[in-house]
Structure 1
Amino acid sequence: MNMHLIIKRTLLCGISGFGWMGLFRLSNYLLTYYSKTKGWKISQHHIMNICEAIVSGIQAIVSSVCGIIVVTSCRHDVMWAVHPLASWYAWVAGSYFVYDTFAMYQVHLSSLPKVPESFMARFSSYIKRRTLLVIHHVVVAAFLFPVSVYRSGIGDFFVGCFYCVELSGPFTNMRIILSRTGLKETRWYVLNGVTMIISFAICRVLVFPYMYLAYGAQYNIGILDVVRKIPLYCNVGSLMVLLPQIHWLRLMFLGAVKMSRGKSISEAEEKID
């Protein structure tokens, strides 16, 4: 990658990072103003939670659109077909995961009855409460992002598939918004929950065997042969992303069962990313 291209993509990463944070701050300002004007009884924590969900939902839609474009353009040759969005959007997505780690921290602080004076105490409580989500974000930003950028111009199809995992994002974030705005007992919450589970299972879990099958179909080999043929870091990276998705899908099913029995789920149980 030449220096000129690196500068352009780094600039894109920086601008998009400020853009995500700007959307978060703007939505927080507008929603806070609206709630005060209309006398809406909602806590600042819930407002910030909604704002984070709004930005996350927007990112999910943008990522999904990019993913669909890349996948449909490259499915004829899953290894060698190229689409520029595969590399360019990686820089935008990378900046989002850095932003969202900070946004989650801000939302966490707003939930505390008393914010600790020490930064280490604040950070420690954040990590304890959002351990898996933070690990997920760090892995994506520190491992999968460089792999998606520095891959010698191959595998755009698979990068597009990874972008498509965000297709479930609008529904996971809508659950947060419906809950925080007092619509948890409505049919919209239930309908969104069913759609969320189905889309999550397809886009975040089944997409992984689909990628292996697509590779195997192109080279006429079985899925076990695919596992043995592709580089170890590809298998390890896929597994590191897949395992949290299976865990979160399990929590979704347990939450659905819990609600079907007339019980409610907590805010922590609703936070899936």
Structure 2
Amino acid sequence: MDGSDSFDTWHTLLVGVFAWSAVFVVLRKIMWNRSFDFCNRLVSMLHVGVALWLSSASIKDWRHPIHPLASPSSPLQIRALAVSLSYFMYDSICCLFETPISISNCIHHTVSILGLLGGIYYGVCGSELVGCLWLMEISNPFMHMRELLKELGYKDSDLSLVNDICFALIFSIARLIMGPYLTYLTLTAINPFIIKATAFGLQVVSIFWFYKIVRMVYYKLSKRNRMGPKVS
């Protein structure tokens, strides 16, 4: 990136961190009777929409969405990466208030931040990074909704079960079918080492989370069979 582009990118990053934090503060004021995690997940849901919109808008050719590989990033791709990087920086701070702190979540945030920083710094592999961002976010609404439903009192409802099944299916397709293919392309293309390392790291985290999701769905289905369905 040249000087002007670099200034615009870091300006977007700083404004983004402030904006996500401001939205959270407003939600905490409005929803004073809801938990810290509840309000933070609403911010995360907002980020999902923004990230998917910016990522989709930056794709050059939907017939070949992750091509050309290892190519210079477009301004739209850089903007998508910068906005999501600002969110991950905000959310990393929020994660420090979790009790207990989730180690896997911290690793995921660290790897994501390093990958996005690397993509912005080198100004290449925008297609791969935007594709990765899209795959990471597509299942997140269901993940966040799972925790929101718990706090709203729908933990064992039919709605919660359907949401969990949708989460497991979409996560599996995005992270365990499409994800490994994107990781392979990223590792075999002429990309900076930091991009390759973070791509591999995210895939490892995805496999670990897949294992936890399978256990979660199995537990809920087993519990439903033992107790019988509840009315939503």
Once the two structures are TM-superposed, the CA of residue 58 in structure 1 deviates from its matched residue by 1.1
Matched ranges for 1:99-178 at <5 A: 99-106=90-97, 108=98, 129-141=101-113, 143-152=114-123, 154-164=124-134, 165-178=136-149
Counterpart amino acid of residue 6 in structure 2: I
| Aligned with residue 57 of structure 1, among 30, 45, 53 | 45
Match of 2:201 among 223, 235, 240: 240
What is the alpha-carbon distance in structure 1 between the residues aligned to residue 112 and residue 156 of structure 2?
34
The structural deviation recorded for 1:146 is 2.1
Query: 2:154 & 2:144 partners in 1: Cα distance?
Result: 14
For 2:93 and 2:192, how far apart are their aligned partners in 1? 31
User: What is the deviation of 1:185?
Assistant: 1.6
Q: Which amino acid aligns with 1:160?
A: V
With over 3 angstroms needed to count, the CA separation of the structure-2 counterparts of 1:52 and 1:179, relative to structure 1, is same
Deviations for 1:48-102, whole angstroms, at most 9, x for unmatched residues? 1111111111111211222223335362742248542211121211111111111
Secondary structure of the structure 1 residue equivalent to 2:156: coil
Cα RMSD after superposing both structures: 2.4
Return the TM-score normalized by structure 1.
Answer: 0.72
Q: Which residue of 2 aligns with 1:28?
A: 28
Q: Which runs of 5+ in 2 are unaligned?
A: 225-232
How far the C-alpha of 1:258 sits from its partner, in A, is 0.9
- 1:228 CA displacement: 5.1
* Structure (1 or 2) with the larger CA radius of gyration: 1
Moved more, 143-152 or 173-182: 143-152
- Tell me, yes or no, if structure 1 residue 78 matches structure 2 residue 41: no
Please list every run of at least 4 consecutive aligned residues from structure 1 whose deviation after the TM superposition is greater than 6 angstroms. Answer: none
- 2:9 and 2:78 in contact (8 A); partners too: no
Number of aligned residues? 219
In structure 2, C-alpha distance between the alignment counterparts of 1:90 and 1:229, rounded to whole Å? 20
Q: How far 1:151 sits from its partner (Å)?
A: 3.3
Whether the aligned pair in 2 keeps the contact of 1:61 and 1:167 (CA below 8 Å) is no
* Contact 2:168–2:217, Cα closer than 8 Å, also in 1: no
Q: TM-score, normalization: structure 2?
A: 0.84
In the aligned structure 2, how far is the partner of 1:82 from the partner of 1:49? 34
Structure-1 residue corresponding to 2:86: 95
Counterpart residue number, 2:18: 18
User: Which amino acid is the alignment partner of residue 131 of structure 1?
Assistant: I
